[in-house]
Amino acid sequence: MNQTNYELNEKFSCFEHNHEKDINLQGKRITEEEKKFTIEGNKKKKLTPGELKEKLEDRFNKKYDYQTVANLQKNVNVGFFGEPTEDAWLLQERIKRLQERFPNMLVKIKKNSKNELERLIYAMPSMKNLAEHFFDLVVLDTTFATNRFRMKHLSLCGKDNHNKTILFVEGLVSTESSKEFAWFFEQVKSYFGKEPKVVLMDADPALLSACQLVFPTAIKRVCGWHTETNIKKHLFGLKKSMILFPFFFYLIRI
């Protein structure tokens, strides 16, 4: 080692920080064990960064930096599924191939400026044929924010003459708004060319509003199980007689 290098090494080996120590540094470091915990958790259920942060803190008994957790979750998701834009592209390509085979199928896709999926609806011609005979009573099932992108999955189902469940149409929307739900119903009405007589759905105000707007003549009914579950959840601790009264009042009001 020459004299110059020796002097530099000696100088920089004794330097001191000119700023305060970051007390949150530990929360910005992710170990392999914490990464494995995140991977296993994401396999079971899609979590927001805030929810994941809370679970990590409970499991490892330390505080985490929010942005560090958000970056960790993003990297884990990319490892599982690839970049978000890849998913929208793959879906679009698969639907294009389906359209080549079934040109009369219903397909509507909307992506944002980042090439990320915002809206999707599709129905096969066979589903339309089923609707010709069994579209009087439909059940709208909604699954909120259980997928990677926290999109809302919508499926419109019914029953055939053998009492078997049949699927009419499926879709994804980005927000739980009347505008998004109305768009979904409008595509259904346009493709099938008629309205259902009875619609059974969740007691979501935005959903009910959109259904009334697009299917004004249809009879709307909310799912009794969802209603009873929500009443028990929000009126927990009250006597049964006090719970049953608002439950029946709600059914009468609808």
What CATH number is given to the structural domain containing 154? 3.30.420
Judge if 68 and 147 occupy the same domain: no
Judge if 115 and 203 occupy the same domain: yes
Q: What single letter denotes the amino acid at residue 217?
A: T
**Total number of domains in the chain:** 2
Residue 110 lies in a domain: yes
Judge if 75 and 120 occupy the same domain: no
Q: Which residue has the tokens 């739980």?
A: 176
Residue 26 lies in a domain: yes
Judge if 63 and 146 occupy the same domain: no
Residue 45 lies in a domain: yes
Bridge partner residues of 67 (DSSP): none
Judge if 67 and 111 occupy the same domain: no
Judge if 113 and 211 occupy the same domain: yes
Residue 92 lies in a domain: no
pLDDT value of residue 221: 87
pLDDT value of residue 231: 66
pLDDT value of residue 24: 54
Predicted confidence pLDDT, tens digits, the chain (254 residues): 555 554 545 444 555 555 555 545 555 788 888 888 888 877 666 678 888 888 888 888 888 888 888 888 888 877 766 665 666 677 778 888 898 999 999 999 888 887 777 899 999 999 999 999 999 999 998 876 566 667 888 999 999 989 999 999 999 998 888 999 999 999 999 999 999 999 998 878 889 999 999 999 999 988 776 666 766 666 665 555 555 555 554 554 44
Question: The tokens of 131 are what?
Answer: 């609707």
For residues 200 and 221, the answer to whether their CB atoms sit within 8 Å is: yes
pLDDT value of residue 123: 94
pLDDT value of residue 6: 47
Judge if 75 and 163 occupy the same domain: no
Residue 228 lies in a domain: no
Of 25, 36, 38, the closest CA to residue 65 belongs to: 25
Task: Give me the domain span that covers residue 35.
Answer: 22-81
List the alpha helices (DSSP H) in 82-164. Answer: 84-101, 125-134
- What is the DSSP pairing of strand 165-173 with strand 152-159? antiparallel
Judge if 62 and 161 occupy the same domain: no
pLDDT value of residue 80: 65
Residue 7 lies in a domain: no
Judge if 208 and 139 occupy the same domain: yes
Judge if 129 and 210 occupy the same domain: yes
Judge if 111 and 216 occupy the same domain: yes
pTM of the model: 0.62
Residue 200 lies in a domain: yes
Residue 204 lies in a domain: yes
pLDDT value of residue 23: 47
Judge if 75 and 138 occupy the same domain: no
pLDDT value of residue 252: 45
